[in-house]
Amino acid sequence: MENLSNVVHRTPLTTSMTFDRISGKRLYMKMENRQKTGAFKIRGATNKVYQLSAQDASKGVIAASAGNHAQGVAVAATKRGIPAKIFMPEGTPAVKAEATRQYGAEAILAGASYQETYEAAVTEQERGGSTFIHAFDDPDVMSGQGTVALEMLQQQPELDTILVPVGGGGLIAGIAVAIKTFRPDIRVIGVQTERASVVYNQYHQNGPSVLSKVDSIADGIAVKKCGSLTFPIICQYVDDVVTVSDEEIASAVVLMLEREKTLVEGAGAAALAAGLFQPQYVRGRRCGVVVSGGNADMTSLPRIQKLAQERMKEHLKTG
């Protein structure tokens, strides 16, 4: 992974007395929200771009992304000196689209969901011949994402569990392979939002394997179907897949702001929500939590605060 060291930050593994008290566990948060471009996605994108042959690179690259993969591909392509064209959903926050352009890529808004955006990008790739950089369903991308786990093991060798947010499955596939290769005793648990639980459904064989609609504050992991390459890896190496509510995710975002003075996006707070509010999934005492990104849409904060307040009211009623 020598190519990554020239581009990617080694992010900190932090702890919080408040979060340990709430969860009853020792939580170690891998702060990928402090990563270059604000998310882990740059790891996989960089690894893929630098694996390209000179011939493939000369064609330029194309990708589909809800935002974080877009920025990762843009930075990696610019570093290598090749053009990048990124397709993004029409509802992508303006800040993410603009950031992608500032990193050097052409950003094109197309499609109401990631799947529609992906299909538009594939059509353009077939027409123009650029090299496609998939957001998750690619061995080089998965391998790059797996460096998150290798760093976590170096920073805290005594972890017994790792909670990982799951969308298309690239991050958890890379992490699970890395963990089970070096430390098969560590449990790897995937976390999805209840409002986009396609991997949970497939893993437990309970519910649709393709969703017709997704709507969640965790937009970075709100996908309609899992990757065809990632899912078999998840089945082989991941110990469990669980879900959390949007209200729990919102509460985790608010707690990070209030207690740790740190902003994370919905997808970035999903694994933390499981650690804080569903600690029964963690059998051990030392739990790694992948805080996958911090590129929050500031206009979504009122909705997040409202959801967090609704959860608190319900908690007080039942508590």
For the segment 180-191, what is each residue's pLDDT rounded down to a tens digit?
999 999 999 999
Q: Cα-flanking dihedrals φ and ψ of residue 203, to 5°? A: -60, -40
Report d(CA 186, CA 286) in Å as an integer.
10
Looking at per-residue confidence, does 215 or 121 come out higher?
Answer: 121
The pLDDT score that the predictor gives to residue 319 is 54
Q: How many residues does the chain have?
A: 319
Q: Cα-flanking dihedrals φ and ψ of residue 159, to 5°? A: -60, 145
- State the sign of the Cα–Cα–Cα–Cα dihedral 158, 7, 129, 115: positive
Let me know: does 12 contact 31? Beta carbons within 8 Å: yes
Report d(CA 79, CA 113) in Å as an integer.
29
Looking at per-residue confidence, does 223 or 142 come out higher?
Answer: 142
Let me know: does 144 contact 18? Beta carbons within 8 Å: no
Active site includes 212? no
Mean pLDDT of 39-47: 96
Mean pLDDT of 114-127: 90
- Environment class of 81 (CB within 10 Å of its CB; exposed 0-12, middle 13-18, buried 19+): exposed
Report d(CA 187, CA 284) in Å as an integer.
9
Amino acid at the residue 18: T
Bridge partner residues of 291 (DSSP): 31
Q: What are the strands of the beta sheet with 84-88, ordered from one edge?
A: 106-109, 84-88, 61-64, 131-132
Mean pLDDT of the chain: 92
Let me know: does 202 contact 145? Beta carbons within 8 Å: no
Grouping H, G, I as helix, E, B as strand and the rest as coil, residue 162 is: strand
The Cβ-side half-sphere exposure at 32, using a 13 Å CA radius, reads 31
Report d(CA 173, CA 198) in Å as an integer.
15
Confidence label for 300 from pLDDT (cuts 50, 70 and 90): confident
Amino acid at the residue 67: G
In the chain, % of residues over pLDDT 90: 76
Indicate which residue of 41, 96, 180, 224 is catalytic: 41
H or E element in which residue 116 lies = helix 114-128
For the segment 148-203, what is each residue's pLDDT rounded down to a tens digit?
999 999 999 999 999 999 999 999 999 999 999 999 999 999 999 999 999 999 99
CATH class of 41-137: alpha beta
Report d(CA 269, CA 216) in Å as an integer.
12
Q: Give the global pTM.
A: 0.93
Let me know: does 113 contact 91? Beta carbons within 8 Å: no
Let me know: does 63 contact 86? Beta carbons within 8 Å: yes
Active site includes 216? no
Let me know: does 135 contact 65? Beta carbons within 8 Å: yes
CATH code of the region 2-38+140-318: 3.40.50.1100
User: Where exactly does CATH 3.40.50.1100 map onto the chain?
Assistant: 2-38+140-318, 41-137
Please work out, in degrees rounded to the nearest 5, the angle formed at the alpha carbon of residue 40 by the alpha carbons of 150 and 258. 105
One DSSP character per residue, 245-309 reads: -HHHHHHHHHHHHHHH-----HHHHHHHHHHHH-GGG--SSEEEEEE-B----GGGHHHHHHHHH
Report d(CA 233, CA 222) in Å as an integer.
20
For the segment 303-317, what is each residue's pLDDT rounded down to a tens digit?
888 888 888 777 655
The pLDDT score that the predictor gives to residue 264 is 96
